[in-house]
Amino acid sequence: MTGHFVEELIHRFEVEQQKNDRSGIYALTQRMMAYNSNKIEGSTLTEKQTASLFDTGTLSSEDAVIRAKDVEEMTGHFLMFNEMLKTYDLPLSHELIKRYHYKLKSGVFEDLANGYPVGEYKSRRNMVSDIVTALPEEVEGRMTELLEWYHTIPQHTLGDLAKFHADFEAIHPFQDGNGRTGRIILFKECLKNDIVPFIIRDGRKVEYYHALNAAQTKGAYGALEQFFLEEQSEYKTLAEGFVVPIERTSKRRQKEPDQER
């Protein structure tokens, strides 16, 4: 049942994206994920501004003070999501992960001005709370180890995704944009493995970080998996009303000639 739902969801994403449909689950997911994932990282754009930017490519004149970086990263997230949809069925690799990061960050002036590598692993050390992240010279090797471990698993579960996400964020392979890249990987791998995807909401950021920290510092991945399950339930409840089963759609089309007679 879960796999069937995911199949239908992917179908709706592809159809609505191709038709430039801004009223269905594709657009809603784009807006929700871009808003929440960027908000977690400090974006000042509102949900309304995010929707306007996605739907029309503009922001209303009443929005007086807007950080250019927030707009650039929001637009980059839209592009990263589209790239994920094009490649969701591909195996994870260094190249694919870097491609997602490039889509997110290639249009961000501040990052380019600071000399941050875009679409490449970090060149300077970075810190996250009390987690000791990988040194630049360690990133390639640690990412290889993570990917090799991940690819030994024939069919991934939500628990596997929780471990991958915690370890990826602990490595922190990019100069900036690790959280957003990591969360798009989660969505991609859910689609690839017939797992209902989910969006981590900014309103639950504290719980998310707490579960992530427990996984990274204690090796206790259960809380993070449970958190993913809860967010998964929220997204499925939302998406079910938009997802039209493929069988019903095809049956309707088959009946149309008879109805015309």
Residues 6+ apart with CB under 8 A from 219: none
Is 257 domain-assigned? no
Between the alpha carbon of residue 199 and those of residues 68, 94, 186, the distances in Å are 25, 23, 9
- For residue 177, give both structure tokens: 């944009």
Model pLDDT for residues 34-51, shown as the tens digit of each residue: 999 999 999 999 999 999
Instruction: Pick the closest to residue 97 from 18, 167, 17 (CA basis).
Output: 167
Whether 255 is covered by a domain: the verdict is no
Total domains present in the chain: 1
d(CA 187, CA 226): 16
| Residue 120 C-alpha from the chain's centroid | 18
pTM: 0.92
With beta carbons less than 8 A apart as the criterion, state whether 163 and 150 touch.
no
Which amino acid does the sequence have at 81? F
Structure tokens at 243: 């997802």
Residue 252, domain member (yes or no): no
Q: Look at residue 250 and tell me if it is in a domain.
A: no
**CATH code at 185?**
1.10.3290.10
Query: Residue 70 domain-assigned?
Result: yes
Taking only the tens place, the pLDDT of each residue in 126-179 is 988 788 899 999 999 999 999 999 999 999 999 999 999 999 999 999 999 999
Per the structure, the complete domain to which residue 47 belongs is given by 2-244
Task: Find tokens 């449909």 and name the residue.
Answer: 21
Query: 49-100: per-residue pLDDT in tens?
Result: 999 999 999 987 565 689 999 999 999 999 999 999 999 999 999 999 999 9
Domain membership flag for residue 256: no
